[in-house]
Structure 1
Amino acid sequence: MRGGTDAPGPTAAAGPGPAAAPDAPDGPAQGAGGGLRRAFGGLTTRGRSFLAAGLAAGGCAYVLGQPELLRVGLLLTVLPVVCTVVLHRSRHRVAGSRRLVPPRVPAMSEARVHLRVDNVSRLPTGMLMLQDRVPYVLGPRPRFVLDRVEPGGYREVSYRVRSDLRGRYPLGPLQLRLSDPFGMCELTRSFSGQETLTVVPRVQPLAPVRLSGEAAGHGDSRTRALALAGEDDAIPRGYRHGDDLRRVHWRSTARYGELMVRREEQPQRSRCTVLLDTRAAAHRGAGPDSPFEWAVSGAASVAVHMLRRGYGVRLLTDTGDTVPAPGGTGGFAGATGDGAGAGLAADLLLDALAVVDHSAGEGLVRAQDVLRSGNEGMVVAFLGALDEEDASVVARMRQRAGGAVAFLLDEPAWAARGGWAGEEDRDGDALDRQRRMLRDAGWTVLRVGPEDSLPGLWSGADRFGARQDTEVAP
C-alpha cells in the first residue's frame, strides 16, 4: 500500500495580488499568540547555538577582560532574541484551505489533495513549511517548503493519496511552520479543518444475465393490477377533477353515494437483497487479496449492477442490519425508480460497504429472520465458510425468495494458497455436502476460489440454474 507526494515535488502557484477567497478556509493562523515563553521555545538549533555561543563569549570576555569579545558575545546573544521577538510580534495572518478531488474513490485508485495558503496580513511572510497529516495507509506525510508569500498573495501545492484498502480516512489538520529570515526561530500553527477520503470497494462490470427464478421484465417497473379478481373487486377512490369518466366504478358509486373511480394500476419494482456474511469466524486472512475483501467487492458489484437494471436493492449482513434502514421505500434503495435515485442508492450502499468490518457473530439466524418477514424477491448471498447448521439456515432462506444465488467460499482452496491449512480446516467433502444441501433447497451455488473472478462466475450464473454441477471458468 503506497501513496503520497508527487515524485518531482509539489506543484506551486503564486498570485501577486489578492486572490479569490478559498473555499471554507481554515484559520487564519496568527503568529502573535501564546506568549514570549512559548515563542522562545520555538528557537531552532541555529538559534540555540547562537544564544549559547553568545553567552559563552560574554562570560569569557568578563573573565578575561576582553571588551571586543564582549561585543561579539552580545551580537550572538541579541540576534536570536531579536529574531524571536520580531517574529512573535509581527502579526502574520495566514489562511489555509484543502480541496480533495475526488472525495470518494475505489480501492487502489488515487485522489489528489490541493492545499492553498493565503497571506491575509499586510506583511510578507518568511519561509513557510507545510505538513499535512494523513493516515499511514495513504502514504508518508507530505511536506512542502514555500518561499516568502507577499501580502495578499497565496501559494498552492498538491499531493496524491492512494489506498488499497477501503475505509474512511481523515486528512488533516494542516500544520504550518513560519520562520524568520535568519532561521533562528520557528512558530508552529495547526489549522482545525479536516477532510475525509472515502475509499469504496472496487465495482466490477457484470454481464446482464438472466438468473434462475428471476421474474419476466427483470427489474424494470412492471404494472400489476391492484384488483386481482375483476372489476367488482377493484379498490375504488373518490372522483377527482380530470379523471376519465370511463373509469367510474358504478357499484361503489351507488354504495357510497358519491362518484367513485377505479384506482390506476400501480407499478411495482422488483427487489434484490444482497446478503454479506461478515463473520470473522467464516473468513480468514487479511489485506486486499483476502476472501473477505473479495466478498465485499462482489457485494458492491452485484448491488450496483442490480440497481442499474432497475431493481430496488438493499444490503443485509449476518447481524441482521440492513442498508438502507427500513423506511418509506420498505428498506430498499433505488425503489423510487428514477435514474437519480439509483445513483444516490449506489452511493449509499458503497459508503456502507466502505466501512463494513468483521462481526463477532457465530450464525446466520438474524439474517434469516429478516428475510422470512416477507417476499424479498431475488437474494444474492456472499457466504464465508459454513458448517452444517449454517448451511441449513441458508437453505431455509430460499423459501420466500423469488430467486437465490449463493457465492460460497471454497475455504480449502483459499487456505492452501494462504498457508492457513490446519487440522481444523474443513475438507472438500464437507463443502460438497453444503453445496448439495443448498442446491436441493433451490439455490444457485457458485463456488469461489482464490483464482475465480466475479464477472466470470456471474456470467455462468444462468447456466448454473439448470446445471449446477458444472465448473465455471474464471
Structure 2
Amino acid sequence: MSAGGPGTVEDAGRRGGLRSALGGLTTRGRSFLAAGLAAAGCAYVLGQADLLRVGLLLAVLPLICVAVLWRTHHRVTGTRRLAPSRVPAGSEARVHLRIDNVSRLATGLLMLQDRVPYVLGPRPRFVLDRVEPGGRREVSYRVRSDLRGRYPLGPLQLRLGDPFGMCELTRSFSAYDTLVVIPRTAPLPPLRLAGEASGYGDGRGRSLAFAGEDDVIPRGYRHGDDLRRVHWRSTARHGELMVRREEQPQRARCTVLLDTRRIAFEGAGPDSAFEWAVSAAASALVHMLERGFAVRLLTDDGSTVPGEGSDGFAGSTQESADAAGLLLDTLAVVGHSDGGGLERAHAVLRGGEEGLLIALFGDLAEEEVAVAARMRQRSRAAVAFVLESAHWVAAGEPAAPPAAELLRRLREAGWIVVSVPQGAELPALWRQAGRLHAEAPSAAGGGTTDFPGGWS
C-alpha cells in the first residue's frame, strides 16, 4: 500500500524490508515455523525422510505467506470525516471512515483500526472483507467525552493478513484529525433591566450629536459616496476628498472574567466547581454575542480572547459565530493557573471603560476582594458569581470557613454578588442576578447602576 496522495497508506513492509515483514508473523505463523524447524531437526537426527518433508512444509508455509504479503503492492486511500468536529462535553460525535482501493489488484482481508484517546472510548476496530479494484468501504463509530479538550484522532492503521492467518502487516496513514470538546452551554433568559446607559444598547449603531462643523469626523471618499457629504474643509486640509461620517457604530461591551487560580477551586472532574465556572463563562459569552455585544474573555493571569488589539474585544466586523467559535475553542483547553491573585487581570481592566463585567470567582481572600473592588470602578456594571469551596467540597471533607463578610464587601463596592451552590443551574442564577440588580443601590450612592442597555 504505497503512498500516492492525501490519506494514502504507506507500504510498511517495503519501507522496513523483508526483516520487518518477518516481524509480522502471527502466533500461528511462529508456531508453524518453530514446529517445522523442530521436525526437520528431529528428522535429521533420526534419519526420517518423511518427517523431514513434513517439517519443511510446516516451516516454508509461513515464509511463503510473508513473501506473498511483502510482494503484494496495493494502493489504498483513506479519509476521515467528523460530524461535527466541535461538540459540547457529554455529546456524541460520529467519525466516518472511508477506504478506497485505487490499485488494480483486489485486497485480502483488511483489519482497520483508528487510534482514539482513552477518554473518548474504546479503540474502534473493523474487519473489511476483500475490496475489489476501484472498490470502496465505509464504516463509522461514535466518540463521546464528558471532559472538554482537544483530542487527536488517528492515524488510521490497516492490517493486511494472508488467508492462513500466518502473517499480518501493518500500514499506517500519516494524517489525523482533531475533535474539539467544548464546555456545555445553557440558554440564558432575556432580562431587560430598567434604564439604559448612554452610548450603549443592544449592539445597534447610535448617532453622534455634532455641535458644529468642527465636530465632524471625516473619512476618505469611497466610490459610491454621496457628493453632498463631501467635507471641503477637511478635503483642503488633507489634499484628498473627505466625506462626513455622520454615524459611528457603537457596540456595547462585555468582559467575562474567569478565575482560573488553582488555589481558588477544589475538586476535579466534570462536576467540579471549576468546570461549572468554565461552562458558565461559555454560556455568558455566547449569550452576550447573540445580543450584539462586543465581548472578550479575560482570565486572572491577564490573558484576553479574542482580538489582536490592545483591548481584545471582538470587533464589529467579526461575525458572531466566528467569535463564539474562537471563545469556545479557548475555553475547551483552559486550565488552572498557578497565580495567587487578580492583579494582572486588573491591569488589563485599568485601561478604559469596560461596559458590563461578568466575573466567575472561586474562593476569594481579602486581597482578591480589594482588587475586585478596584475592578468595579472600571465598569458600568458588574456581576460576580462566587463558587465557594464550602458549597462544593465532597461529603466528609472539611468545609472552608464562611466568607459572608468578604461577599458583603464586594456588594458594598458595587458588585451584584450571587453565591453559587453545588448543582445550581445558571439560568436560575442569571434571573437572581437580575432581581438583585433591580434592588441594589448604586455604589456611588443614590440611584441605580444600569447594565448597558439591559444585560439581556
Letter paired with 2:357? V
Does the aligned pair in 2 maintain the 1:278–1:317 contact within 8 Å? yes
5 Å-filtered alignment, 1:213-292, equals 215=197, 218-225=201-208, 227=210, 230-235=211-216, 237=218, 242-243=225-226, 245=228, 262-292=244-274
Task: State the distance in 1 between where 2:195 and 2:372 align.
Answer: 17
Cross-structure match for 1:163? 145
1:121 Cα shift?
A: 2.2
Task: State the distance in 1 between where 2:346 and 2:324 align.
Answer: 24
1:253 Cα shift?
A: 8.8
Cross-structure match for 2:29? 47
1:237 Cα shift?
A: 3.5
Distance 1:64 1:442, change over 3 A: same
5 Å-filtered alignment, 1:341-356, equals 341-356=319-334
Q: Deviations over 1:406-426 (max 9, x none)?
A: 1011321112x454425xx2x
Equivalent in 146, 156, 159 of residue 174 of structure 1: 156
Does the aligned pair in 2 maintain the 1:334–1:342 contact within 8 Å? no
Cross-structure match for 1:438? 410
Task: State the distance in 2 between where 1:60 and 1:299 align.
Answer: 76
Letter paired with 2:348? V
1:66 Cα shift?
A: 2.2
Segments of 5+ residues of structure 1 without an aligned counterpart are 1-21, 470-474
Does the aligned pair in 2 maintain the 1:406–1:445 contact within 8 Å? yes
Task: State the distance in 1 between where 2:184 and 2:333 align.
Answer: 13
Q: In the alignment, does 2:77 pair up with 1:100?
A: no
Equivalent in 369, 389, 394 of residue 347 of structure 2: 369
Q: CA RMSD in A?
A: 2.7
Task: State the distance in 2 between where 1:129 and 1:58 align.
Answer: 34
Q: Deviations over 1:292-349 (max 9, x none)?
A: 0000000000000000000000000000010014429x42125337xxx011111010
Cross-structure match for 1:403? 381
Does the aligned pair in 2 maintain the 1:323–1:349 contact within 8 Å? yes
TM-score, normalization: structure 2?
0.88
Task: State the distance in 2 between where 1:233 and 1:194 align.
Answer: 59
Equivalent in 402, 408, 413 of residue 391 of structure 2: 413
1:376 Cα shift?
A: 1.1
Task: State the distance in 1 between where 2:45 and 2:355 align.
Answer: 96
Equivalent in 87, 102, 108 of residue 120 of structure 1: 102
Does the aligned pair in 2 maintain the 1:98–1:113 contact within 8 Å? yes
Distance 1:90 1:200, change over 3 A: same
Distance 1:285 1:257, change over 3 A: closer
Does the aligned pair in 2 maintain the 1:236–1:249 contact within 8 Å? no
Cross-structure match for 2:454? none
Q: What SS does structure 2 have at the residue aligned with 1:123?
A: coil
Task: State the distance in 2 between where 1:256 and 1:94 align.
Answer: 65
Q: Deviations over 1:399-456 (max 9, x none)?
A: 12111111011321112x454425xx2x22xx21122111111111111110311000
1:213 Cα shift?
A: 7.5
Letter paired with 2:48? Q
Task: State the distance in 2 between where 1:326 and 1:262 align.
Answer: 29
Q: In the alignment, does 2:66 pair up with 1:71?
A: no
1:211 Cα shift?
A: 5.1
Segments of 5+ residues of structure 2 without an aligned counterpart are 442-456
Task: State the distance in 2 between where 1:283 and 1:445 align.
Answer: 18
Letter paired with 1:81? L
Cross-structure match for 1:378? 356
Does the aligned pair in 1 maintain the 2:251–2:292 contact within 8 Å? yes
Equivalent in 282, 285, 295 of residue 277 of structure 2: 295
Q: In the alignment, does 2:11 pair up with 1:33?
A: no
Task: State the distance in 2 between where 1:151 and 1:322 align.
Answer: 53
Distance 1:85 1:249, change over 3 A: closer
1:214 Cα shift?
A: 5.5
Cross-structure match for 2:434? 462
Q: Deviations over 1:218-242 (max 9, x none)?
A: 3221314163xx1154135489585
Deviates further, 299-308 or 77-86: 77-86
Cross-structure match for 1:336? 317
Letter paired with 1:443? W
Does the aligned pair in 1 maintain the 2:206–2:248 contact within 8 Å? yes
Report % sequence identity.
64
Distance 1:78 1:114, change over 3 A: same
Cross-structure match for 1:191? 173
Cross-structure match for 1:84? 66
Equivalent in 47, 54, 58 of residue 40 of structure 2: 58
Distance 1:25 1:464, change over 3 A: same
Cross-structure match for 1:6? none
